[in-house]
Structure 1
Amino acid sequence: MKLVIFGANGPTGRLATAQALAEGHTVTAVTRHPQAFPLSGPALHVAKADALDPEAVDRAVAGHDAVISTLGVPYGSEAVTTFSESAKNIIAAMTAHGIRRLVCVTSTGVPMKPPPGETLIYRKVIVPALLRMGRPLYEDAGRMEQIVARTDLDWTIIRPSGLFEGPAVTDYTVGPPQMIGRFTSRRDLADALIREAVEDRNVRSIVEVITTEGTPSVYRVFLQEALRIGGSGR
Structure 2
Amino acid sequence: MKVLLIGATGGTGREILPRLLAAGHCVKAPARRPEAVVTVHENLQIVAGSVLDPDLIDQAMQGQDAVMSAFGPRSLKASDVQEVLMRNILDSMKRHDVRRFVNLSAWGAQESHKRINIMQTVLQGLLLRNIFADKKRGENLLFASNIDYVNVCPGRLLNKSPRGGVRASIDGSGISHSMTRADLAEWMVGQLTSDSWLRQSPVIGYDKGRGATTSNYPSSS
So what's the TM-score if we normalise by structure 1? 0.82
Counterparts of 2:85 and 2:42 in 1: how far apart (Å)? 28
Map Cα deviations across residues 125-180 of structure 1 (whole Å, 9 max, x no partner). x2343121001111111112110010011111011101111212511111113434
Q: 1:128 to 1:23 in 2, by over 3 A?
A: closer
Q: How many residues align?
A: 207
**What's the secondary structure of 1:83's corresponding residue?**
helix
Aligned to 1:127: 120
Counterparts of 2:179 and 2:24 in 1: how far apart (Å)? 25
Q: Decide which structure has greater helix share.
A: 1
Counterparts of 1:114 and 1:133 in 2: how far apart (Å)? 19
**What's the secondary structure of 1:205's corresponding residue?**
coil
Larger deviation, residues 3-12 vs 181-190: 181-190
Aligned to 2:182: 187
User: How far did residue 115 of structure 1 move?
Assistant: 3.9
Counterparts of 1:171 and 1:128 in 2: how far apart (Å)? 26
Matched ranges for 1:154-169 at <5 A? 154-169=148-163
Aligned residues: CA RMSD: 2.0
Counterparts of 1:209 and 1:183 in 2: how far apart (Å)? 9
Map Cα deviations across residues 68-124 of structure 1 (whole Å, 9 max, x no partner). 0000123x51112221110100011111111111110111131479844x7xxx52x
Which ranges in structure 2 are unaligned for 5 or more consecutive residues?
213-221
Matched ranges for 1:3-152 at <5 A? 3-74=3-74, 77-111=76-110, 115-116=114-115, 122-123=117-118, 126-131=119-124, 132-152=126-146
Deviating runs (4+, > 2 A) in structure 1?
111-116, 177-181, 198-201, 211-214
**What's the secondary structure of 2:12's corresponding residue?**
helix
- State the one-letter code of the partner of 1:192: W
**What's the secondary structure of 1:199's corresponding residue?**
coil
User: How far did residue 58 of structure 1 move?
Assistant: 0.3
Q: 1:114 to 1:20 in 2, by over 3 A?
A: closer
Matched, 1:206 2:201: yes
Q: 1:96 to 1:163 in 2, by over 3 A?
A: same
Counterparts of 1:188 and 1:81 in 2: how far apart (Å)? 29
